[in-house]
Amino acid sequence: MFNDVTIVGVGLISGSFALALKEKKLAKHIIGVSRTESSAKKALELGLIDEALPLKEAVAKSEFIYVAIPVDATIPVVLEIMDLVNDKQIVADGGSTKFALSKALADHSMRKRFVSTHPMWGTEYSGPEAAVHGAFAGRSCVICDAEKSDNTAVNTVEDIYKQLGMHIVYMDSENHDIHAAYVSHISHITSFALANTVLEKEKEEEAIFELSGGGFESTVRLAKSAASMWVPVFMQNRENVLDVLNEHISQLRKFKASLEKENVAYLTELIENANKIKKIIK
């Protein structure tokens, strides 16, 4: 158990992580660092954190520092933290992109005290109110570039995630970003695009509400996600997102062509090929 843990960011991931640390008795005292006073106050009210402090004060008091903020802010904040820590402290992040951060930290003298992680869980909500109990149980957590971190730091962070009920996956940061583009980032772009399509074509909001079924709701759910989180993700992982987006556009064109030409056989083939995903996702 840690005596003092700092959580940088008090939103969905960080807030849920703080709750999990408390529930599993992995931290006696949790310090929150927030960009806004209102978020810090709400996190205190909700019991996500025990104290709110400025970054430097929080880091000085803590054995473990966990950063879960939008990825464009993560790099400068983590660099600032790494300038403050000693060889007994551990720093980890929970961001959705890893390669840019890895490059930024490559030559830092305290690089080995940093562990790059991505717990594969999230919802479309944000802010302290979005934090939930039991968020990480049964999910995967990717640990990136483990060989660049001290074994003790990696083992400690692994143990935390395992106690939260997570399965550990190891990957280098470059491959992480490629695969994240395939299984996460394109899903969000597709959802945003579908929401915009429906909003453009269906001007009657009441009709959307009345007629939307489970399929539409589940597909467009991610469109509720905050631009402040996802624009930085898309920009940091731009090349990989463009690659998978081009393939997605190609697949949409195939469906369009089959309908234009009334090609039932080809339409059936496209759908049946897509059904193979059942072998991977049950």
Burial code (b: 16+ CB inside 10 Å, e: under 16) for 77-101 equals bbeebbeebeeebbbbbbbbbbbbb
Average pLDDT of the residues in 146-165:
97
Mean pLDDT of the region 195-219: 69
Question: Shortest CA distance to 221 belongs to which of 122, 123, 120, 121?
Answer: 123
pLDDT digits (tens, 9 = 90+) for 43-102: 999 999 999 999 999 999 999 999 999 999 999 999 999 999 999 999 999 999 999 999
CATH number of 176-279: 1.10.3660.10
**Positions of CATH 3.40.50.720 in the chain:** 2-171
Give yes or no for a contact between 26 and 63, defined as CB atoms under 8 angstroms apart: no
What pLDDT score was predicted for residue 211?
A: 56
Task: Determine the topology of domain 2-171 in CATH.
Answer: Rossmann fold (3.40.50)
* Tokens read off for 121: 């869980």
Binned at pLDDT 50, 70 and 90, residue 122 comes out as confident
**pLDDT > 70 in the chain, percent:** 94
Whole-angstrom distance, CA of residue 17 vs CA of residue 69:
12
Query: Is residue 208 pLDDT above 60, yes or no?
Result: no
The pTM for the full model equals 0.89
Among candidate residues 136, 163, 166, 132, the one with its CA nearest the CA of residue 1: 163
- Which residue intervals of the chain bear CATH 1.10.3660.10? 176-279
